[in-house]
Chain A
């Protein structure tokens, strides 16, 4: 019963998710489906939040014995609580115009928002501090990382308000936002990697240099990798507004080759920077992103 339910939740098409207007509900749907049946195994230890009692065993720290329980039951019990391992997760969303790229009814920007909402929900549920920075060259929407109950609402509300616009700004504009934080944090960077002159790569390198764990979720369309267009077409660049006339059939081979090359180079560069790079196509369910997140989360534990 449980498995069938799990599988039915597990692979929700992003297009189906797009029909859900409320990001909270969306995130809950995705995460609950994902986490269903998964065993949470927080490490037990000394902490503020009570978890369980267990009988004393030789080797246990005497300080951990609950003397009140001893008085009541005349037996040694050790009070255990979950170890506080919480970290700060910062989501950086590329809010430039190129994220408006749309395929099969779903926009890259929406996909990125679903992704961030789901991850944010999951992180919040697990007690992490979550923060959001949506970046383009006009505005930087900043939701500072916090751990309280209201944070998820702030987070999701901000996410809902965002609209893609403009381009990716230079590092100078971003410096002030990212340099202030001293703690080590997990940075989830969601972008399409469409850059004019390595500005996103530069930002990534700066961020990873600050001892952060950076995960790059590169969102890409199926048409962008495989160039599935046909006939004579005019392509318009969403950021620059330039257009180019192309006969799709003839352009396909050189384009696909160029794209493969670009991805290979990017992969190499990111690897050198120590950035974990994951490629998402727009028709891919979000579960994959959650699993990647959890893997990366483990590294920081």
Chain B
């Protein structure tokens, strides 16, 4: 089947009227010859008219053909090779998601529907890679939790014919619908089988003190997914924890009594759930905030940000502030050091950072600032704190934050084992809005990530238990006119060259014939 990539060019076929008009008009003219008398020519006049028309008709047809071929050339004809589409397009498909096949069809109420579809001539196939027939599909081997129904349907749409509706049976888990909603040329009858599942799982659990722990439990049902945090006492032997609002949790200590596994009691649908091992209490994190007298307020903001982080994550964190008198200070085992001073950072402090892998944060190293009126561009932040004062920056590391003009505001540089941050402003409301915004404790918490053992407190893996459902209105693919069917995976061949050759041949023939006529 021939189709065109640029069918709009077919309107150029109107140019066919041009040779037609030319031929009609040219009949009137002709070489004019003056002779003494035309008396003897009068009789044959009417005959000549007819013969004139006949003689040029062949040329006209040739020219029209040439124009038609040129128009076809512009429209970029392609020959569609239907052989691949033929065998599958004759029959319509009913597609069943593999997640429905893990249990018997009768259980989900599909058996009778599929039977009647099969008797109506539908081919039953699995909505999975390569769309294997249902009869040859082994749910146990091929089943996977994550599917992408929309992209699979796009694939089906490209292969299947648009004559009969597609029947699709899937679950309605939101996580299986990803990307952009497709527009299909096939009509789709989509039936979803809902499973009324409600999932709970322990997302995180760690000791906050010797006898207490913090639990993060995830809940997910068809409406929402949320996380709740509980402070519990850790029993010394195997027991069941039950507090108000919290699902019952079984605590199982191992043989030596140091390690505890926590397991949700009603996890019937996850029999292989072996629970969550309670993390040990973290070693104390020492934070040292060294500051000038002038920057006492700055130090307070930083200190309280650390308090917030410590409280939120239930981690032992002890921020200490100290006033710098002579501009020199030795590190006494702090993991994170804030140097809030216009004095340069002492070399021995830098060296201890290099060796021990700590984090050092400097702020504005001079009192001379420049006024500006812009925002702080913080990656992955929900807000943009305003910035009024900053100092000039000389970039040494890579920029973490920038101001609205693109010049770095916070930069980070690896320093031996440790990390060195330079902030070109101050932690003060007179300088910027940072300390008042939620981005500040967020950033403070991210500083803790440089400590590898601590990073596990913040990790999250939410995907597997998301039980939210998609609504039918959101799910249904848009319908698209079926000319889009032409853009399919079936192979097609450009007719450019043969049409070019035909045009050239026609052109030569036309020239030859025109030359013959004029002589």
Contact = CB atoms under 8 A, between A and B. Distances in A.
A194 B55 CA distance: 32
A245 B45 contact: yes
A242 to B, nearest CB: 6
Interface stretch (B27-35, B167-175, B226-234, B350-358): B27-35
A194 B36 contact: yes
Contact of A101 (B28, B29, B35, B42): B35
B17 interface: no
B38 interface: yes
Residue among A224, A240, A244, A255 with the highest chain B CB neighbour number at 10 A? A244
Contacts of A98: 36-37
Interface stretch (A59-67, A181-189, A231-239): A231-239
Interface in A62-109: 98-102, 108
A234 B40 contact: no
A101 B517 contact: no
Given A236-B33, A245-B45, A246-B48, A262 B55 contact: no
B44 A255 contact: yes
Contacts of A258: 40, 43
Given A232-B55, A233-B30, A258-B43, A245 B37 contact: no
Interface string B426-469: 00000000000000000000000000000000000000000000
Contact of B38 (A243, A247, A254, A262): A243
B41 A236 contact: no
A226 interface: no
A244 B30 CA distance: 10
A18 interface: no
B51 interface: yes
A229 interface: yes
Given A245-B30, A245-B49, A247-B55, A238 B35 contact: yes
Contacts, number: 100
B42 A231 contact: no
A244 B40 contact: no
| Dominant secondary structure of chain A at its interface with chain B | mixed
A259 interface: yes
B52 A245 contact: yes
A231 B517 contact: yes
Interface residues of A, number: 36
Given A230-B519, A234-B31, A244 B38 contact: yes
A231 B518 contact: yes
B58 to A, nearest CB: 14
A256 to B, nearest CB: 9
Q: Among B44, B45, B55, B518, find the residue whose CB has the most chain A CB atoms closer than 10 A.
A: B44
Given A244-B45, A255-B40, A262-B40, A237 B35 contact: yes
A101 B518 CA distance: 24
A202 interface: no
B83 interface: no
B205 to A, nearest CB: 103
Interface of A: 98-102, 108, 192, 194, 221, 223-224, 229-240, 242-247, 250-251, 254-255, 258-259, 262
Interface of B: 27-45, 47-49, 51-52, 55, 517-519
Top 7 A-B pairs, shortest CB-CB distance: A98-B36, A101-B36, A194-B37, A258-B40, A232-B30, A194-B36, A237-B38
